[in-house]
């Protein structure tokens, strides 16, 4: 049965936690001139080289920073990363790749890192060259900001159309040692499951073997970041990076470690909360939408149906308009590609059952409309054919989404 591995007994959320909550990490961000006023250059550095893992966008056109970061990540070790917002350095050809390498070179030199242990990330407008003079000048200023900026400044520096910063940290106990996991993310538009237009950076002071770390990130990503959608668009740039520097001094973690589930559960908490923050902050969104599908024969089938519903423009606009048009949910299930029997299907909006084993119920339209006015909407689908389940997250679709994206470059 595919259920969440998360148990609240295994972790504690840190108030105002950031990527610097784990021991041995520093981070910061400031305005370097890529955007008009907002912070646009951020960095994370570990005191020591950290075991690292990554997952990347499924878009066929992968931006130069991803290529450079993949190259750095091939050794399984990262100690630092530099991020700019406001310009994606995507679809920029040979010059874009040269600029990404130059960013890595300059940041590594300033921070005393190895180039091959340094990651580079960019996010923003596609098809424009980086303003390298501003980038290089900004990187030279990083040491001047080390004492005055922090993890929250980093979270602010990586956003584009986001309306809020997205960060969290939790602690858990492994081998009698306190282990901390922190994360920051950006993402608001061009969001679709299977790694989309988002960046997420996760740090931990746990000691984790390289192969186990990659396995953990890939597994957790499938149940968190890959289960969100805002607008069905998959970007060219985005990634999740996970750094583990071992400063907690626990016994090295692997999948055979007796407390592996504790680490995996805590990592899932961080990634799930970041994913939900991205979904809730969708461009122009007014509501977070959570779709839970149960009673499926396979986990993949449950996931496909959940993502089909949460990604439906008609479902999203109905929720925005507080219209309990459950027929749109049925349609999204029907074109999900999964085999579903009509007389086994039940659907609820929150606690309001609107379909019961293929038959519409005598629900109150006024009550349903009132429920859909909430900021958090839950849709429950029971297929009554198995024991597998899955959850996906998204948002409603408002007039503001069109307004924001009709003038993105201006």
Q: What is the CATH number of the domain that holds 34?
A: 3.60.70.12
pLDDT score recorded for residue 381: 98
Exposure of 258 by Cβ count < 10 A (0-12 exposed, 13-18 middle, 19+ buried)? exposed
User: Model-level pTM?
Assistant: 0.88
Q: Where residue 409 falls among pLDDT bands split at 50, 70, 90? A: low
Is the predicted pLDDT of residue 1 greater than 50, yes or no?
no
- Checking if the pLDDT of 15 tops 60, the result is yes
Give kind and range of the element (H or E) at residue 107. helix 93-111
Per-residue pLDDT tens for 348-372?
999 999 999 999 999 999 999 999 9
Task: Evaluate if residue 56 carries a pLDDT over 60.
Answer: yes
DSSP secondary structure, 276-305, as one string: HHHHHT-TT---EEEEEEEEESSHHHHHHH
What are phi and psi for residue 93, nearest 5 degrees?
Answer: 60, -150
Average pLDDT over residues 28-56: 96
Domain of residue 154: give its range: 9-279
pLDDT at 236: 61
- Using a 10 angstrom Cβ sphere, with 0-12 exposed, 13-18 middle and 19 or more buried, the burial of residue 21 is buried
Q: Is 70 exceeded by the pLDDT of residue 230?
A: no
Whether residues 311 and 268 share a domain: the answer is no
The domain boundary, picked from 227, 251, 279, lies at 279
In percent, the amount of the chain with pLDDT more than 90 equals 78
| Range in 8-17, 53-62, 158-167, 185-194 with the lowest mean pLDDT | 185-194
Query: Are residues 81 and 180 both part of a single domain?
Result: yes
At residue 212, what are phi and psi to the nearest 5 degrees?
-70, -35
Q: Are residues 204 and 256 in the same domain?
A: yes
Place of tokens 């219209």: 323
Annotated active-site residue 92? The verdict is no
Q: What is the pLDDT of residue 398?
A: 83
Number of domain units in the chain: 2
The whole-number pLDDT of residue 238 equals: 76
Do 207 and 349 lie in one domain? The reply is no
Nearest to 58 by CA among 160, 267, 198: 198
Residues 165 and 92 in one domain: yes
Q: Write down the catalytic residue from 69, 197, 234, 262.
A: 197
Q: In the listed set 254, 279, 304, which residue is the last one of a domain according to the structure?
A: 279
């Amino acid at each position: 049965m595919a259920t969440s591995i998360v148990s609240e007994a295994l972790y504690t959320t840190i108030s105002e936690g950031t990527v610097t909550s784990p021991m041995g990490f520093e981070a910061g961000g400031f305005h370097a001139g890529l955007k008009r006023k907002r912070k646009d250059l951020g960095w994370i550095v570990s005191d020591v080289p950290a075991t690292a893992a990554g997952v990347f966008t499924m878009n066929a056109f992968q931006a130069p920073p991803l290529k450079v970061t993949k190259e750095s990540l091939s050794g399984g070790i990262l100690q630092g990363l530099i991020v700019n917002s406001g310009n994606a350095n995507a679809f920029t050809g040979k010059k874009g790749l040269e600029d990404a390498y130059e960013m890595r070179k300059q940041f590594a030199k300033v921070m005393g890192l190895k180039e091959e242990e340094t990651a580079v990330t960019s996010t923003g407008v596609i098809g424009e060259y980086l303003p390298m003079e501003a980038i290089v000048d900004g990187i030279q200023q990083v040491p001047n900001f080390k004492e005055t900026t922090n993890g929250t400044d980093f979270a602010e520096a990586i956003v584009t159309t986001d309306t809020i910063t997205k960060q969290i940290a939790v602690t858990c106990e492994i081998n009698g040692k306190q282990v901390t996991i922190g994360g920051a993310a950006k993402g608001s538009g061009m969001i679709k499951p299977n790694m989309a237009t988002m960046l997420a950076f996760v740090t931990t002071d746990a000691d984790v073997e390289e192969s186990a770390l990659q396995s953990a990130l890939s597994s957790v990503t499938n149940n968190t970041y890959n289960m969100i959608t805002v607008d069905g668009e998959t970007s060219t740039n985005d990634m999740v990076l996970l750094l583990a520097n071992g400063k907690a001094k626990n016994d090295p973690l692997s999948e055979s470690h007796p407390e592996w589930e504790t680490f995996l559960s805590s990592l899932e908490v961080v990634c799930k909360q970041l994913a939900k923050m991205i979904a809730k902050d969708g461009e122009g969104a007014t509501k977070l939408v959570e779709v839970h599908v149960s009673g499926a024969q396979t986990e993949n089938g449950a996931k496909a149906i959940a993502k089909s519903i949460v990604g439906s423009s008609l479902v999203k606009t109905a929720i925005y308009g507080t219209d309990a048009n459950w027929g749109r949910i049925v349609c999204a299930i029907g074109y999900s590609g999964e085999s579903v029997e009509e007389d086994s299907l039940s659907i609820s909006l929150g606690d309001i059952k609107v379909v019961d084993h293929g038959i519409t119920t005598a629900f109150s339209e006024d009550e349903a409309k009132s429920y859909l006015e909430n900021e958090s909407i839950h849709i429950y689908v029971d297929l009554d054919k198995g024991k597998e389940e899955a959850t996906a997250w998204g948002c409603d679709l408002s007039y503001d989404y069109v307004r924001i994206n009709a003038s993105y470059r201006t």
